[in-house]
Structures are given as C-alpha cells and as structure tokens.
Amino acid sequence: MPSYTPPLRDMQFVMHELFKVSDEFRVMPRHADIDRATIDAVLEEAGKFATEVTLPLNTTGDAEGCRLDPATHVVTTPKGFKEAYAKYVEAGWPALSGDPEFGGQGLPLVVNQCLNEMLTASNQSWTMYPGLTHGAYAALHAYGTEVQKQTYLHKMTSGEWTGTMCLTESHCGTDLVLMRTKAEAQPDGTYRITGNKIFISAGEHDMAGNIIHLVLARMTDSPPGIKGISLFIVPKFNVNPDGSLGSRNGIFCGGIEHKMGIHGNATCQMVLDGAVGTLVGQPNKGMNAMFVMMNGARLGVGNQSLGLTEVAYQNAVAYAKDRIQMRSLSGTKAKDKAADPIIVHPDVRKLLLTARAYAEGGRALAIFCSLLLEKEHFHPDEQVRKDSGEMLSLLTPVTKAFLTDNGWIAASGCLQVFGGHGYIKEWGMEQFVRDARINMIYEGTNAIQSLDLLGRKILGNNGATLKKFGKLIAALVEEEGVNEKMAEFINPIAYLGDKMTKLTTELGFKGFQNADEVGAAAVDYLRIAGHLVFGYFWARMAQVALREIAAGNTDPFYQAKLQTARFYFAKLFPETASLMLTARSGAKVLMDTEAVFA
C-alpha cells in the first residue's frame, strides 16, 4: 500500500512565511483572532485523520468499487467508507469553515483548503463525497431563501446531509443550451422535475442520511438558450416543515458509470421521475447560482490533482532511494551495494523534481486562491473585495487546468520511476495515474477552461485583470531587480510577462477577425499563463528562502526550496518558449484539413 506523510511543513511555509495569512486575517473581523498556532494545530489533526482513517481505504476502495442494487436503487460504497465518514462527521471536519450561523466553526477557507489537499492525497474517491457538499452549500448560502438556508444548511454544515451538482445530460456536457430536463410548476409553489443526468459524482451512496441535489432544469415556459435555465433543490428524501425526513423523492440512481479511476466514488446516472424540487434564486437565472458551485468545484478538482501530485512524488522518491539499478554515470556512489540507488540517475531526478516543483507551486497557487476567496467575502475594504474576486476569477481556470495537467504529468512520471513495478497494482502508482487522468476532464475539460481564460477572462475585459496580475510581477521585479542572487528567478518572469502581453494583443486582433484563432491558441495560452503564475510564486518562494539562508537559518528546508526553484526555472519554465510558437501558429493548419477527415 502506498504511504503518505502530510506536507505540513510546506503548508506552513506557504501560509505563514510566503503569504503571512495571520496578518491578512487580522484586518477581517471574522478572523481577527485566528493565529498561527490555531491553524497549525488544526492541520496537524487533519493530517492524522488523512493518514489514519482515509489512507488505508484508498487501494481497497479502488479494488472493491461501488455496488448498485437495481431493484432498490441503493448504492453501497466500499467497505470502511461509511464508517470513515461517520468519524469525519463526529470530529466536526465538515463544519470547519462553515458559517457559524448554521453551525459552522468559521475557520478560514485556507484551513479547509489544506485539509482537503491532505484528504485527497490520501483518498480522492472518499474525499469527493463530502467535497461536493461544500459547493452545494456555497450556492445555497449565496442564493437560497432564508427558509431554504434554515432547512438545508445546518445539516449540510454538520455533514449529516451531503450535496451534489446535477448538470450533465447524455447528449450535452458543457453545452447546457441543449439541456432537456423539465420542471413543471405546481400549485403549492414546488416543481415536478423530469429528466436524466449523467456523470453525477456521489449522486447516490449510503454514507449520509440525505443527499441534496442541485439540479439544472428548464421550466415549461422558459425561453430557449442559456437564459432559460433554472436551478432547483431536489433532495433524495423530501424534508418536512419541522426538518425531519419525509417520503422518498423521485430522484434515484439508474446506473453507475464504470470509470478508469476513482472507483470508490459512485459516479451515477440519475433519473428524475416527477421529483419534487424548489426553485433556487430567480426563474431562468439558474446559472448565476450554479456558477458559485461550478467555480468552487473547479478549484476543488485542481486541488485533487495537487494531492495526487504530492502523494505520487512521496512514494516515487522513497522507491528511488531504495531501488538499486546500474551504476551512476559519474562513478559508483554506493560502494557497499551491487548497484547504485536509481535516484543517482539524472533522468530519475528530473522525474522526481518535476513532481515536486509542480506540487509545491500548485500548493502556493491553491492557498493563494483560498485567501483571495476569503478576502472577496470578508475583507472590510470594498475595493479589496472587488479586486480579490476579479483575480480569483482569472486564476480559477488556471488552477483547474494547469494543476490537473501537471498532476497527470507528475503521476505518470512517478509511475515511470518505478519501472515495471509502476503498472503493477500492489504498488499503487497506476491508481494515481488513473485518478489523475480523470481530473483533466472533470468540471469542464481543460480545453473549456482555456477558452474561458483567454476568451472570457482576458480578451473579454481587454486584459484588465491580467494587467493586475502583471502588477504583482512588476512589484517583485522592482523590489529584487538589482539583487544578483534573485536574477535567475526574476529575469524569466519579467521576460515572459512582456512576451505574454504582446501575445495577448496579437491573439485579440486575430480573434476579432476569426474566432477560431482564439480556439486554436487557447490551450497553449493557458499553459503559458500557468507558468507565469507559477514562476511568480516560485520567485517569491526563492526570495523567502534566500532571506532565511542569508540570516543564518540552517534548516535544510530552505536549501531544498531554493534547489527546487532553480530546477523549475531551468527545466520546466522554458516550455513557454515552444508554447509561444504553437500558440502563434494559427488556426489554418487545424481547420483547413477536410482531406484528412474525409
């Protein structure tokens, strides 16, 4: 079975030394009393839960999978999942960052972010059951009526009930314009909802007393297109006025999707047969509320791949230190052994360092996003709230796509370190690869995220938000531009920032003439943007490490951070040069290909 050690030291570095989150919280009345000791103590306990409760269920859950009883539509999760969830609820973990008004503990989202990274690293399948509830909770918290909030949020905060999002239909995935699920108004103000949804993660299970589905559907008199979509609460069990559970609602699992990975999570085909639903928000404006959940889910999926990157790296580096194979090209290193450990070989180190650089860069981005979300909601300054929301909107598709792309690269590379043992189940590495590949598709494919970034988030506002991120880079360049020790980190991001501004302008002009030019460049563009963001954070992390070393701090952590930063800029960041070329290569070689597909 794979092992896992929660990366608490690196989480603490990012939170307390890089972003100084306690200082940020001090200006928010909601979190003014939250200090470093509190955060660290909570996360230490979270790490114990991940390693002691969910990790042992990861490989067994993958092997066993979920079972559907066609007669009763009951889904049974793998052995131990239900009991682990009971422990999770009993310990209060679902309420960690919840609103105290609904029974939450009110801790900062950054704490929940780190908790979820550790849980995902230990067992992504299990973590998706409670994980999706956070998005449903957020949508209802933002758009639900007072009655809906009082009815559902207390139970969802406590973990007694879980939540899902029901969007996709068999004939339409991202293109919700084609959606067919119908909602018919009833005299009592409810709706009868009929249709079919697919790929619904945690759509049915035996872990919680009720499942609160948020379902997109069209009212019978709605206009066509995206402006005719509404959002409804459709609980598995109807809820009585006093909060108790009533009759079984007409929503049930008609089948389980047999996926390449995350076998322990029930990905369901959901059938709605006159299910009772209540409207969330305004009629025909369901996407406003659903985007709250979708954006949270996109950040969550990025975080899933971050967890997989970390756990794959840990197991690969442990194997590379132990496995002996051949001799070092530069001379024998382990004279007392028949061969050297494979960690002495340059390519093995490249595979390992790639995973480490992507894990630590991804952690910085994920924690930064959670801090932005906190500031968007709770900072006393209105302009800070607005700026934080805009920056988070820009970084959401980057977080989802770049972290899941990197998770696939890292997990595949770590499997490669194991050689033939990598694709043997007992080592656990092939499961990380299978799970990581799915994340690139979940919650909008990475191509969709790329179109969202370039088309909507950048060209849609003439690069205004991108320029704001550019100001962060410019401030760092101005601060460290004359520091020779920082040159290897500062010069690349300054150069790329300038080149990206020119590329964005060029693509904007080309896209104005032919929209396919944006589609042809978008995936490459997002990866360039991802490296610009990672480059900025890696430069800042190198800055902190250099200052600590200069001050006489002998903790090897800082030397390791500095060496990883150097590797990232030398071996991974230069990918942007080829991406610039392919982004500029245009749509013609893609679209003028009728003869190829004839």
Give the three-state DSSP class for 191.
Answer: strand
Instruction: Spot the catalytic one: 117, 204, 430, 443.
Output: 443
Give the CA dihedral 437, 440, 441, 443, nearest 10 degrees: 130
Rounded distance, CA 476 to CA 470, Å?
10
Nearest to 506 by CA among 468, 576, 458: 458
Rounded distance, CA 111 to CA 458, Å?
30
Nearest to 254 by CA among 264, 267, 245: 267
Query: Residue 89, by phi and psi: left (phi above 0), alpha (psi -120 to 50) or beta?
Result: alpha
Beta bridge partners of 68: 75
**DSSP annotation of 520:** H
Rounded distance, CA 169 to CA 36, Å?
45
State whether the Cα torsion 52-57-58-59 is positive or negative: positive
DSSP annotation string for 324-362: B-S--TTS-S-TTSSS-BGGGSHHHHHHHHHHHHHHHHH
Count the neighbouring beta carbons within 10 Å of the beta carbon of residue 90: 9
Query: Residue 295, by phi and psi: left (phi above 0), alpha (psi -120 to 50) or beta?
Result: alpha
Residue environment code for 527-547, b if the CB has 16+ CB neighbours within 10 A, otherwise e: bbbbbbbbbbbbbbbbbbbbe
Interhelix angle 81-90/124-143, nearest 10 degrees: 50
**Is residue 300 within 8 Å of residue 287, measured between CB atoms?**
no
Rounded distance, CA 401 to CA 495, Å?
23
Location of structure tokens 């909570």: 42
- In order of 300, 435, 500, 507, the CA distances from 396 in angstroms are 10, 21, 19, 21
Rounded distance, CA 135 to CA 128, Å?
11
Rounded distance, CA 184 to CA 576, Å?
51
**Is residue 560 within 8 Å of residue 352, measured between CB atoms?**
no
**DSSP annotation of 574:** T
Q: Is 106 exposed, middle or buried (0-12, 13-18, 19+ CB in 10 A)?
A: middle
Count the neighbouring beta carbons within 10 Å of the beta carbon of residue 347: 11
Rounded distance, CA 287 to CA 289, Å?
5
Give the three-state DSSP class for 196.
Answer: strand
**DSSP annotation of 13:** I
443 annotated active-site: yes
Active site residues: 443
